[in-house]
Structure 1
Amino acid sequence: MNAMLVGADTLGNIPDVLNAYGISIHRHVSGRNSAHQRKPDRLPAGTDLLILFTDFLGHNVMKHFRQLASSENIRFIACRRSVCALKQSLTGVGLSERTQCGDCRHACPRKPRRH
């Protein structure tokens, strides 16, 4: 799954979290660069998920990108730029974290815990 990220100057541990969910970063727009502040008329081709980091974006920019995602039937999430907030939002839209099996090096869906 390819994601477009909007907001945040640096991503820190965000790419590692996304990889754990089987998501690769298709494009990252920080929003600070003047070229990034121009509003595109559509999302890049191949975008499956739009992630908006709310603590780095203005309301109008968020509204514009949400409308683009809705018009192209692309899922979007909005959260703060923190690992915990991102994990919670990804889980909230039905994505599950992947983990490495002990027997192989392939990413497999996490098995549910039994109590």
Structure 2
Amino acid sequence: MSILIIGGDRLGNILDNLRRLGFKDIRHVSGRKKGYLELKVNQNVDVVLVLTDYVNHGLARKIKGTYRNGPCRTVFARRAWCHIKSEMDRVLCNGCCAEDCPGRAKGA
């Protein structure tokens, strides 16, 4: 799976954790500059992760309006891994809490 991360200057261990969830292609843009308001999400992206505490507010609104019901799944989360993980589980598993859900990551 592929993911585009918008926001956050440094991602730290988030990249390793996303790889453990099965993301092979990970792209990142900081999302702070006004120029990012023109950002177009590539059709080849499966998930857009928006780190809400490190992104331009106008860009967050645009992504929410444009991509929330678009071709890829959109996850809005704070930069803390525990929040990212819970939001990814909620969005990617459609809220299911079954332990045998194929979308649920094991051990992360």
What band does the TM-score fall into relative to the shorter chain?
0.7 to 0.9
Aligned Cα RMSD in Å? 2.2
Match of 1:83 among 75, 81, 84: 81
Question: Which structure 1 segments of 5+ residues have no match?
Answer: 100-109, 111-115
Aligned pairs, how many? 98
Identity value in percent = 27
Question: Which structure 2 segments of 5+ residues have no match?
Answer: 94-102
TM-score (norm 2): 0.76
Q: Confirm or deny: 8 A CA contact 1:26 1:47 kept in the other structure.
A: no
Would the alpha carbon gap of residues 41 and 53 (structure 1) be closer, same or farther in structure 2, given more than 3 Å must change? Answer: closer
1:1-115 maps to which residues of 2 (within 5 A)?
Answer: 1-32=1-32, 34=33, 37-40=35-38, 42-70=40-68, 72-93=70-91, 94=93, 95-98=103-106
Give the C-alpha shift of residue 77 in structure 1.
Answer: 0.5
Residues 33-83 of structure 1 show CA distances to partners (whole Å, capped at 9, x for unaligned) of: x4x733235212411100000111232110112233246421100000011
Would the alpha carbon gap of residues 63 and 25 (structure 1) be closer, same or farther in structure 2, given more than 3 Å must change? Answer: farther
Q: Confirm or deny: 8 A CA contact 1:3 1:25 kept in the other structure.
A: yes
Structure 2 CA distance for aligned equivalents of residues 24 and 67 of structure 1: 27
Give the helix-richer structure, 1 or 2.
2
Would the alpha carbon gap of residues 77 and 47 (structure 1) be closer, same or farther in structure 2, given more than 3 Å must change? Answer: same
Would the alpha carbon gap of residues 87 and 30 (structure 1) be closer, same or farther in structure 2, given more than 3 Å must change? Answer: same
Structure 2 CA distance for aligned equivalents of residues 86 and 38 of structure 1: 22
TM-score (norm 1): 0.72
The residue type equivalent to 1:53 in the other structure is L
Q: Confirm or deny: 8 A CA contact 2:31 2:56 kept in the other structure.
A: no
Structure number with greater Rg is 1
